[in-house]
Amino acid sequence: MVTVNAGKKLVAIYVRKSRLKDADALEISRQLELLTDYADKNNMEYEIFSEEGSSEDWDGRPELQRMMMELRRNIYDGVLVTDQDRLTRDRTDFGLFVRFMKNEGLMLFTLNKTYNFMNDDDIFTSGIQSEMDNHFMRMTKRKLRRGRIQAIKKGVYFGIAPFGYTKDDQKHLSPHPEESKVVQDIFNMYVYEGMNMTEIQEQLELRGIKNRKGKLINVRALSIILDNVAYRGTVHYELTGEDVITVEEAHPALVDSDTFKKAQVLRAERRKVPQSQQKGLYTLSKLVVCPKCKQTLSFCMKYGNREGRAKLDMSSRHLYLLNCYASKGARAKAEMKGIERCSNNGIKISRLQEAILNKLREHLTEIDAEIEAVLSGSNDIISKVAQKQQELTLQYNQLDKQKKNVQDGFKMGIYEAEEAQAEIRTIKEAQLSIEQELKNLEGADAKSEVEKQKKLKAKIELLLSMEHTVNESNETSMRANKLLHDVIDKVWYWKPKNDVGGDKPFEITIDYK
C-alpha cells in the first residue's frame, strides 16, 4: 500500500525500454533517474511500474496492465512518463488511453508537458504528438529495415549462429572447431552413407554427441540442419514485402554445394509420399503419380469381395492403389481450398504391376536398338542427350518464372506467407531434381552412353527375373523397389472409371531415368 503525504500528488511512474534502437532511446535506468528527479522537484509521491520486456501490443505488457488496474483505485493523480510514446506509439491505443484517463479524471505528466484530458486543447495537442510519434516509429522502422537489408547483403547473419558456427565481431559466421565436424558428418552419413535421420540420430547418440544445451540431437534438429543453406556458405533471408536476399560465399561453407544439393534431392524424394502412416515398402512404392493433380499415389489392403469382408477372411484381401484424395489430409486440404476431387480412380496393384513389367520388357528392345545405333556410329543418341538438356534447361527457367510469380503474388496479397513459402519450396525441390538430371547428362559420349544403357538393361533383366510379390512388403519387394527407382523416374497412371461391374481400362506412361 502506497502512503501519500498531505499536499503531495501520487503518480504512477511507467518506464519501458524502446524496441527501436535509435540514438535518442533511453535505457530504463536513465528514464527512472529523470522521472524520480522530476517527481521530487514537483512534490510528488510515486509508485514505479517497470516494463522489462518490449512489445507494441498492450496485451504483451503485464506491468502496463497492472498499472491500469491500480489507476482504477482512485488514489492516483496521474501517470508520469518521459514522453507519451513510452505508453504507445499506436494512435488507436493512445486514443483508448486518453478516454480511460478522462473517465478516471487522471493527468498525464511528461518531462516537457502536463496533459489534462478534461481540456479539449490538451486532447488535441496530445493527438498531434501521438501522430508525430507514430510517424517517427514508421520512419525509424524503415531506416532499421534498410540497415538490416544492407547488412544482410554484406553477409551479416542475424539471429543465433546455427549449430556448427560461431559469430565474429562483425556478426559473420565462422566454423566452430568441434560442432562444424559434427555437421559435416551428418551430411556425409545422409548423402554418401545412405542413412536416414533415425539412423544418424542413433550414431550421434552412440558417439555421445549433444547440442549446445547438453541434450541429444533429435530428428527434428537433424531436419533443420540438412535444410539450412547457411552450411554451404550462403546467407538467405525472406523479409515480408521485400525481394528474397541471397548472398553466396558470405562465410566459410561446412559442406560443398554438390553435397548440399544432393541432400535436398534426397529430402524431396523422401517427403513426396502423401500418407506418412503408410507402413512397409512395396514394389511400386513412391513411383506412381497422377498426371492431373501430380499426387504421388499410395497403397492399402482392401477386401476383394463383401463375403471376405463379412468373414474377415485375410486371404481375400488384396493390395490396391488408392485414388488421389483417399487420405484424410488430402481430402481436408481439397475441401479447405475448394478444389474439386480428382477423378483418377484406384486399381488392384496386381494389374498395374503386370502392366509396368510388360512396359519394361518392351523397353529392353528399345535399349538394344539404342546400343546398336550408337555402336554403328549414329549420332541420334547424342542429339537426344542434347535435346534432353535443352528441355530440362527450359523447364528450369520456367520454374524460375513461376517462383518470381509467387513472390510477386505474395507482395500483391494473393498468397499468404505460408502459402508462398510452400509454393517456393516445391519449386526449388523441382529445380534441384532438374539440376541433378543435367549433371547426370554432362559429358555424354558414345562409350559412356553404351555403358549407361548396358547397366540399365542389366537392372531391368534382373527385375524381370525376380519372383514378384504383390500383397506383401518383404525383402524381395524392397529390392525390386530400389531397382525400379534406379530405372524409372515416374509412372504416370490414369484411370477415369472405377472397377464396379468389372475391370476398367487404364493408361500408364513411364518416364525412364
- pLDDT band at 505, cuts 50/70/90? very high
Least confident of 3-7, 248-252, 386-390: 3-7
Pair 50, 28: CB distance under 8 Å: yes
Q: What's the CA gap between 181 and 396, in Å, rounded?
A: 34
Mean pLDDT to the nearest integer, 127-151 = 62
pLDDT value of position 312: 64
pLDDT at 132 over 50: yes
CA nearest neighbour of 294 among 113, 473, 511: 511
Q: What's the CA gap between 470 and 111, in Å, rounded?
A: 82
Q: What's the CA gap between 256 and 244, in Å, rounded?
A: 22
- pLDDT band at 339, cuts 50/70/90? low
| Residue type at position 425 | R
CA nearest neighbour of 354 among 457, 458, 470: 470
Q: What's the CA gap between 70 and 76, in Å, rounded?
A: 8
Q: What's the CA gap between 171 and 163, in Å, rounded?
A: 15
Pair 211, 217: CB distance under 8 Å: yes
- Among 73-82, 139-148, 306-315, top mean pLDDT goes to 73-82
Mean pLDDT to the nearest integer, 422-443 = 79
Under CATH, which number does the domain 9-151 receive? 3.40.50.1390
Q: What's the CA gap between 158 and 139, in Å, rounded?
A: 21
**Helices and strands: H and E segment counts in the chain:** 15, 15
Residues 6 or more apart whose Cβ sits within 8 Å of residue 405: none
Residues 6 or more apart whose Cβ sits within 8 Å of residue 231: 162, 164, 183, 187, 225, 253, 254, 255, 260
**Between 28 and 441, where is the model more confident?**
28
Q: What are the start-end ranges of the E strands in 215-346?
A: 235-237, 245-247, 288-289, 299-303, 317-321
Q: Counting every residue, how long is the chain?
A: 513
pLDDT value of position 1: 45
pLDDT value of position 240: 58
Domain locations in the chain as residue ranges: 9-151, 165-271, 288-381+441-512
Least confident of 18-27, 72-81, 201-210, 387-396: 18-27
Percent of the chain with pLDDT over 90: 16
pLDDT value of position 6: 52
Give the CA angle between residues 9, 14, 20 to the nearest 5°: 150
Give the residue ranges of DSSP H helices in 194-323.
197-206, 219-227, 257-271, 306-311
pLDDT at 320 over 80: yes
Q: What's the CA gap between 381 and 366, in Å, rounded?
A: 12
| Strand ranges of the sheet holding 317-321, from the earlier edge strand across to the other edge | 299-303, 317-321, 347-348
Instruction: State the residue for C-alpha cell 553404351.
Output: 450
pLDDT at 133 over 70: no
- For residue range 251-294, list pLDDT tens digits in order: 899 999 899 998 988 887 766 544 444 445 788 888 898 888 78
Mean pLDDT to the nearest integer, 493-506 = 88
Pair 262, 436: CB distance under 8 Å: yes
pLDDT at 399 over 90: no
- For residue range 14-67, list pLDDT tens digits in order: 998 765 444 445 678 888 888 999 998 998 999 999 887 655 666 678 888 889
pLDDT value of position 180: 93
Q: What is the distance of C-alpha 408 from the center of its chain? A: 19
- pLDDT band at 193, cuts 50/70/90? confident
Set of cell numbers at residue 387: 535435346
Pair 236, 229: CB distance under 8 Å: yes
- For residue range 210-246, list pLDDT tens digits in order: 998 888 898 889 989 998 989 998 887 765 555 667 7
Pair 153, 172: CB distance under 8 Å: no
Pair 512, 363: CB distance under 8 Å: yes
Phi-psi region of 22 (alpha: psi -120 to 50; beta: other; left: phi over 0): beta
**Between 331 and 64, where is the model more confident?**
64
Pair 13, 48: CB distance under 8 Å: yes
Instruction: State the residue for C-alpha cell 518521459.
Output: 82
Helical pair 219-227 and 257-271, crossing angle rounded to 10 deg: 130
Q: Quick count: other Cβ atoms within 10 Å of Cβ 350? A: 14
Set of cell numbers at residue 298: 499410395
Q: What is the distance of C-alpha 438 from the center of its chain? A: 26
Top-tier CATH class for 165-271: alpha beta
Residues 6 or more apart whose Cβ sits within 8 Å of residue 96: none
**Between 445 and 101, where is the model more confident?**
101
Mean pLDDT to the nearest integer, 178-205 = 88
pLDDT value of position 5: 53
pLDDT at 104 over 80: yes
